[in-house]
């Protein structure tokens, strides 16, 4: 215990919150147009990613990615690199592995906050 541990813990926390902030910004820019929680521009009840996942999982998992607790970087990478149905694949030049880690860090916080 002592100051070193405290400083290390604080640094880890500061890095985490920076990752969460970057992840949220990236999600808002690249993912929320399909995976956000609001209604679509076309007046549909929800956006295409959110809508598809609602059909896919029904009541078993939340339709909004921000509410999921099971999405690790590894799982996100599979879908993001391969694409899924109408979701396009993202190349590493468009979305780096580090940015996927940031998005996973954001989901970990957003799902806990329940918002
Ligand atoms: C053009 C719309 C679109 C964009 C942009 C998009 N997605 Fe998707 N995404 C979808 C659709 C539609 C599905 C559902 C495919 C299906 O029904 O299996 C999906 C599925 C997924 C899944 C699979 C979830 C599961 O359990 O099956 C993940 C993870 C995911 N998207 C993450 C992301 C991330 C992260 C981004 C941003 C980097 C993103 N998506 C951007 C449309 C999109």
For 6-28, how does the pLDDT look when each residue is reduced to its tens digit (9 = 90+)?
A: 777 777 777 799 999 999 999 99
**Residue 52 scores a pLDDT above 70:** yes
DSSP 8-33: HHHHHHHHHHHHHHHHHHHIIIIIHH
Q: Residue 21 burial by CB count (10 A; 0-12/13-18/19+): exposed, middle or buried?
A: middle
- CATH of residue 38's domain is 1.10.760.10
Measured in angstroms, how far is the CA atom of residue 100 from the centroid of ligand 1? Answer: 13
Nearest protein Cα to ligand 1, atom 11: 49
- The Cα 50–Cα 16 span in angstroms is 26
Measured in angstroms, how far is the CA atom of residue 39 from the centroid of ligand 1? Answer: 16
So what's the pLDDT on residue 96?
A: 98
So what's the pLDDT on residue 36?
A: 96
> Model confidence at 68, in pLDDT bands (50, 70, 90)?
very high
**Any idea which of 5-14, 56-65, 72-81, 85-94 has the lowest mean pLDDT?**
5-14
Look up the pTM and report it: 0.90
**Residue 57 scores a pLDDT above 70:** yes
Query: Quick one: the chain helix, strand, coil %, rounded to 5?
Result: 65, 0, 35
So what's the pLDDT on residue 2?
A: 67
In degrees and rounded to multiples of 5, residue 96 shows phi and psi of: -80, 165
So what's the pLDDT on residue 3?
A: 72
Measured in angstroms, how far is the CA atom of residue 15 from the centroid of ligand 1? Answer: 26
Pocket of ligand 1 (CB under 6 A): 30-31, 33-35, 48-49, 52-53, 56, 65, 71, 76, 79-80, 84-87, 90, 95, 103
Neighbours of 77 (CB within 10 A): 17
Tally of domains within the chain: 1
Indicate the top mutation candidate among 28, 78, 84, 90 to test ligand 1's pocket, ranked by most ligand atoms within 8 A of CB.
84
* Average pLDDT along the chain: 91
Domain that holds residue 19: 3-113
């Amino acid at each position: 215990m002592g100051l070193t541990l405290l400083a290390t813990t604080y640094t880890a926390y500061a890095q985490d919150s920076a990752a969460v902030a970057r992840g949220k910004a990236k999600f808002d820019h690249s993912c929320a147009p399909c995976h956000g929680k609001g209604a679509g521009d076309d007046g549909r009840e929800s956006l295409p990613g959110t809508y598809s996942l609602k059909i896919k999982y029904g009541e078993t998992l939340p339709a909004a990615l921000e509410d999921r607790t099971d999405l690790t970087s590894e799982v996100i990478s599979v879908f993001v690199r391969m694409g899924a149905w109408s979701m396009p694949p993202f190349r590493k030049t468009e979305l780096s592995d580090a940015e996927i880690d940031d998005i996973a860090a954001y989901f970990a916080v957003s799902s806990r906050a329940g918002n």
